[in-house]
Amino acid sequence: MQVEFEQTASLGKFIIVLFKHKWIILSVFIAIVLIVTIGTLILPPVYEASSKILLEREIDAEKALLFRMNFPQSYDNYDWVNSEIEIINSYPVASRVVKNLKLDQLAGKKKLTSETEKAERFENAVKGLIKKLEINKIKDSNMLEVSYEAENPKLAASIVNKVIENYIQCRLEISDKSNNYNFFEEQICIADEKLREFEQRQAEFKRQEQVISPKEHREILLTRLIDFERSLTAVQTKRIGKASKLAVIKRQFEKGHELSIPATEVSDSPSREKHVTKLKGELLNMELQREQLLQKFTPKFKEVINLDKQIAAIKLKIKSEIQQIIDMEETSIRALKTEEDVLQNSVDKIKEEIQEFAQKEYEYAQISRGIDDNRDIYSMLLKQREEARISLAKSEREIIIKVVSPAIVPLYPIKPRKFLNIAMALLLGILVGCGLALLIDYFTYTINIPAELEKFRELAALEPAQEDKNGDMNSHSPPKKTETSI
């Protein structure tokens, strides 16, 4: 019963306090509601534009199979998306958006002439964009929601779309490996120019030196040299043989000995040799006839004298023929000598050509080596460029960005929420008014209901007497304020 009485007394006291300070509560309530309502009506509307993007990460399956790699659990938890959030909210992306949409010029209407002021305004616009841009990762997924709030709905949608566009571009630049590909492209052009230069030099060398193939040309020269040396050796052998035979003939002819020309000896006058042989046969027959006649007759015998004349005539013919043979052999030897000199000159010229061609062949070999080296370099660069192209294609597929829903111009503002603000103002006005009333009553020493007075008196009677400073015993005096309000 006592507890119920105390609860009824507290509720009654609370109601009495509210009625006592009703004007304060009403004033605070009206003031808060008016302030919030006016503020809600004055504040400009704020629109929010948002877009959702899907991020897909390409796993290098070839490396995983080759090296038997197990990808960490963080991939399954999409922790790698956090790095993409940082890229979206990075300075390069924000600065590009500010530059594309000229947000720094929209930030202030005042025209700036100083470069420092322009740079400062630009930096402030970039920082403001980074601060107001919101990027949220959808739980347990690799999808991001990019949103931005602005008073201009078209500007909000443009900023979100530009952020995603520049993020995609920046992401490609971060994982871009096109520098290697471009480097190999430049080197291939240089190698191709050098290769063409060497091929042009080779064609010009062949045209000037009239060389089709150095190997074939060298074989032709060597073949000609061998043929000329073989002919020279044959001529020299023939000339030496003729000179030896002629020396023997001259020696026999000068000493008056009987001439003996070998039947197997090759001569330029075989008919004369046959004629000499025939004359020798006739001379031998006549000498035999003379010997037979001298056995019967004296040397003065008429037939003997005729034979002697015939023998002398035949001997003169033989000498004449032999002299002609000698002259013809000398002429043949001189002709062979001339031919030998011509062949020797030809051999010397061919040797000189071979020496000159050796120098030309060296120059040709240098040009050919340059062509081969540049061809090898060109082929190597082509392979490396192809490897760079494949690597570039793989790097472009590392993170695949897909725009699921692009930002559109919002039709309704998200701020201020008028009905919610007014409702919150009503609730806040009631709470603040009541709280203020209770606070004022707490610091005011008054008795509001009879129960309080009775309770106060009962407690005062039970309190022990206290000794004052003079040593007198006095009872507890009641409070000075004993105003009772029922």
Q: What is d(CA 344, CA 233) in angstroms, rounded to the nearest whole number? A: 10
pLDDT one-digit tens code per residue, 408-425: 998 888 887 778 888 898
Radius of gyration of the chain, Cα coordinates, nearest whole angstrom: 67
Give the confidence band of 389 by pLDDT, cuts at 50, 70, 90.
confident
**Residue-level pLDDT at 111:** 64
Residue 211 pLDDT level (bands cut at 50, 70, 90): low
Q: What residues are paired with 144 via a beta bridge?
A: 53, 137
Residue 369: closest CA among 358, 361, 359: 361
Q: Per-residue confidence at 398, pLDDT binned at 50, 70, 90?
A: low
473 has a pLDDT exceeding 80: no
Give the global pTM: 0.46
Query: 2 versus 447: which is more confidently predicted?
Result: 447
Q: Which residue has the higher pLDDT, 23 or 472?
A: 23
More confident site: 3 or 121:
121
* Cβ contact 379:184 at 8 Å: no
pLDDT at 387 over 70: yes
Q: Peptide bond before 416: cis, by omega within 30 degrees of 0?
A: yes
Among 325, 243, 251, 318, CA closest to 284: 318
Q: Residue 399's beta-bridge partner residues?
A: 57
Of 32-41, 144-153, 177-186, least confident by mean pLDDT is 177-186
The predicted pLDDT at position 483 comes to: 40
Pick from 438, 341, 424: nearest CA to 21? 438
Dig out the tokens for 313 from the structure. 């005539």
Give the residue-averaged pLDDT of 426-430: 87
Please count the other Cβ atoms lying within 10 Å of the Cβ belonging to residue 468: 9
Confidence of residue 317 (pLDDT cuts 50, 70, 90): confident
C-alpha 32/C-alpha 34 separation (Å) is 5
Over the chain, what is the mean pLDDT? 77
Structural domains of the chain sorted by starting position, each given as residue range(s) with its CATH number in brackets: 1-41+429-441 (no CATH), 44-175+398-415 (3.30.70.1130), 213-370 (1.10.287), 445-486 (no CATH)
